[in-house]
Amino acid sequence: MEHPADATAPDGKDKSNAADTLLRRKGALMKLVLAIVSSDDSSAVSSALTKERFSVTKLATTGGFLMSGNTTFLVGVEDDDVDRVIDTVRKHSKKRKQVVPSTTYGVGMYSSFPVEVTVGGGTIFVLSVDRFDKV
């Protein structure tokens, strides 16, 4: 089977643009963006990604230092659109300060005092996709 990058037109001319299009259809230049954001920012991020016409799958997740609620977004995009997805998530997921109780043990008893921590923002992973089909 001929590799799409070796494609030539019937007149013998190079068809690298057509080959790129064929590879994109087969998913060779696709990426999967995993964006984990605070549940507080979930609605804004989801709306912004949808407004940018990205297809988005949302998963409710928990984790991190505070074991707080998060949303993980799965976004399959062409390689050229990765930066737009990241910029959109960055713009709509903000870091903020939150006061949480901290428990310490001393002199035979527990005591609790408030500690200020930074929460929010996002964690983003970009993965290469070997195959991408919409069925």
Distance CA 96, CA 92 (A): 12
User: Which residue's structure tokens are 């997740």?
Assistant: 61
pLDDT band at 124 (very low <50, low <70, confident <90, very high): very high
pLDDT tens-digit profile of 55-78? 999 999 887 666 678 899 999 999
Distance CA 39, CA 51 (A): 19
Q: Looking at domain 29-129, which CATH architecture does it have?
A: 2-Layer Sandwich (3.30)
pLDDT tens-digit profile of 3-53? 444 444 455 554 445 444 544 555 448 999 999 998 889 999 999 999 999
Query: Domain-by-domain residue ranges, the chain?
Result: 29-129
